[in-house]
Amino acid sequence: METPSLQISAPNQETFRRLELALSLNLRRQIWFAICDDLSLRNQLANGLHIHLNQGALAGLGHGYPQLVTLDLDLTDPHFTSQVSQWLLKYPPNRYQANIPGFQLIGVERLTRQPALVQRLFLSYLQNIDRHLPTLEASLLLWVSRPWCFSIQQSAPEFWQWRTGVFEFVSELTAPSATTGSLTRPEVNGTLTSNPVSIFAESEKGDGLKPLTHSRDKLPPDPVVVLSHGKEDQPETLPHSNLVSTEPPIHDASLIDSASSDLIEGSTPILPPDGELSQSIEVIKNNGVSSPSIDPPEVGAQPPPIDDSNDLSRIAASALLNELSRLVLATLPVNAQQWAKQKYGGINHGTHPESLILGDGSSAPASTTAPTDNPLDESEMEPILLLWQLQDDHNRTQEPTALVNGYLALGNFYRQQIEQGDVNHNTLKIAILTYEQAAHWLGQAIAEEPDEVLATLAPGFWSDLYNDLGNFYWMLSRCMPSLAEEAPALQKAIDSYHHALHYLRPDPTQPDQILNSPSHGMIHNNLGGVYSDLARTHAPINNLQQAIRSYLEALRYRPAEVDPLKYASTQNNLGTAYWNLAQYEQPKLNLKQAVISYTEALKYYDPETEPVNFAMMQNNLGTAYWNLAQHEPNSSTELLSLAIKAYQTALTYRKVESFPSGHAATQNNLGTAYWHFANQPKLDPVMKQKCLQLAIAAYDAALTNVQQLQRSGQPLNLNFDYFATHNNLGVAHFQFATNTSLLLDTKEQMQHLQTSLNQHLQALQGWKNQPEFYDKALGYIVQTIKACFQSGGLQGQNLALSRIPPTLLPEIMRRL
CATH number at residue 55: 3.40.50
Domain assignment present for 382: yes
pLDDT at 230: 32
pLDDT level of residue 795 (50, 70, 90 thresholds): confident
User: CA-CA distances (angstroms) from residue 686 to 458, 650, 678?
Assistant: 71, 26, 10
Residue 558: CB atoms within 10 A of its CB come to 28
Which residues are paired to 69 by β-bridges?
Answer: 103
- Alpha-carbon distance 569 to 603, whole Å? 11
Secondary element (H or E) of residue 672: helix 660-678
Amino acid at 617: M
pLDDT at 322: 83
Phi, psi of 68 (to 5 degrees): -140, 130
Last residue of a domain, one of 149, 168, 187: 168
Whole-structure pTM value: 0.62
Domain assignment present for 326: yes
Which residues are paired to 592 by β-bridges?
Answer: none
- Alpha-carbon distance 357 to 361, whole Å? 9
pLDDT at 814: 86
Identify which has the larger pLDDT, 94 or 244: 94
pLDDT at 5: 61
Whether residue 494 has pLDDT greater than 90: yes
Whether residue 801 has pLDDT greater than 80: yes
Report which of 132, 56, 49 is spatially closest to residue 97, judged by C-alpha positions: 56
Contact 429, 333 (CB under 8 A): no
The packing angle between helices 10-24 and 39-53, to 10°, is 40
Q: How many CA atoms lie within 13 A of 337 on its CB side?
A: 10
pLDDT at 620: 94
Residue 444 domain boundaries: 310-457
User: What's the rounded mean pLDDT across residues 313-332?
Assistant: 75
Mean pLDDT lowest among 540-549, 624-633, 711-720: 711-720
Domain assignment present for 589: no
End-to-end distance of the chain based on CA atoms, in angstroms?
90
Whether residue 604 has pLDDT greater than 90: yes
The packing angle between helices 611-631 and 564-582, to 10°, is 30
510: helix, strand or coil: coil
Domain assignment present for 526: no
Domain assignment present for 692: no
User: What's the rounded mean pLDDT across residues 317-341?
Assistant: 80
Mean pLDDT lowest among 115-129, 578-592, 604-618: 115-129
Domain assignment present for 127: yes
Look over the chain and give the mean of its residue pLDDT values, rounded to a whole number: 75
Whether residue 763 has pLDDT greater than 90: yes
Identify which has the larger pLDDT, 282 or 3: 3
Which residues are paired to 50 by β-bridges?
Answer: none
Mean pLDDT lowest among 332-341, 346-355, 532-541, 566-575: 346-355
Last residue of a domain, one of 457, 484, 502: 457
pLDDT at 588: 95
Contact 743, 711 (CB under 8 A): no
pLDDT at 435: 93
Whether residue 323 has pLDDT greater than 90: no
pLDDT at 385: 81
Domain assignment present for 148: yes
- Alpha-carbon distance 794 to 619, whole Å? 45
Of 85-94, 280-289, 625-634, the range with the highest mean pLDDT is 625-634
Whether residue 540 has pLDDT greater than 60: yes
Whether residue 275 has pLDDT greater than 60: no
pLDDT in tens, 613-645: 999 999 999 999 999 999 999 999 999 999 999
- Alpha-carbon distance 393 to 209, whole Å? 12
User: What's the rounded mean pLDDT across residues 342-371?
Assistant: 40
pLDDT at 133: 64
List, in order, residues 6 or more apart from 514 with CB less than 8 Å away.
504, 505, 520, 557
Whether residue 262 has pLDDT greater than 80: no
pLDDT at 289: 29
- Alpha-carbon distance 527 to 525, whole Å? 5
pLDDT at 164: 86
Contact 493, 515 (CB under 8 A): no
Share of the chain above pLDDT 70, in %: 72
Query: Interior CA angle at 553 toward 550 and 558, to 5°?
Result: 120
pLDDT at 511: 52
- Alpha-carbon distance 557 to 522, whole Å? 8
Mean pLDDT lowest among 364-378, 462-476, 508-522, 698-712: 364-378
DSSP letters, 190-256, are TTS-SS----BSS--SSSS--PPP---PPPPPPP-----BTTBPPP-SPPP----TTSPPP--S---
pLDDT at 26: 76
558: helix, strand or coil: coil
Last residue of a domain, one of 143, 168, 193: 168
Whether residue 514 has pLDDT greater than 80: no
Domain assignment present for 97: yes
Mean pLDDT lowest among 353-367, 700-714, 726-740: 353-367
pLDDT level of residue 277 (50, 70, 90 thresholds): very low
| Greatest C-alpha distance within the chain | 114
178: helix, strand or coil: coil
User: CA-CA distances (angstroms) from residue 350 to 315, 332, 628?
Assistant: 16, 20, 64
Identify which has the larger pLDDT, 437 or 4: 437
Mean pLDDT lowest among 63-77, 179-193, 230-244, 248-262: 230-244
Count of domains observed in the chain: 3
Mean pLDDT lowest among 84-98, 256-270, 474-488: 256-270
- Alpha-carbon distance 635 to 436, whole Å? 54
Whether residue 676 has pLDDT greater than 90: yes
Strand 31-35 relative to strand 140-144, pairing: parallel
Whether residue 60 has pLDDT greater than 50: no
- Alpha-carbon distance 647 to 408, whole Å? 48
265: helix, strand or coil: coil
Mean pLDDT lowest among 244-248, 466-470, 641-645, 728-732: 244-248
- Alpha-carbon distance 710 to 460, whole Å? 49
For residue 457, what is the DSSP state? Answer: B
Identify which has the larger pLDDT, 723 or 309: 723
Whether residue 314 has pLDDT greater than 70: no
pLDDT level of residue 203 (50, 70, 90 thresholds): very low
User: What's the rounded mean pLDDT across residues 744-763?
Assistant: 90
Contact 785, 796 (CB under 8 A): no
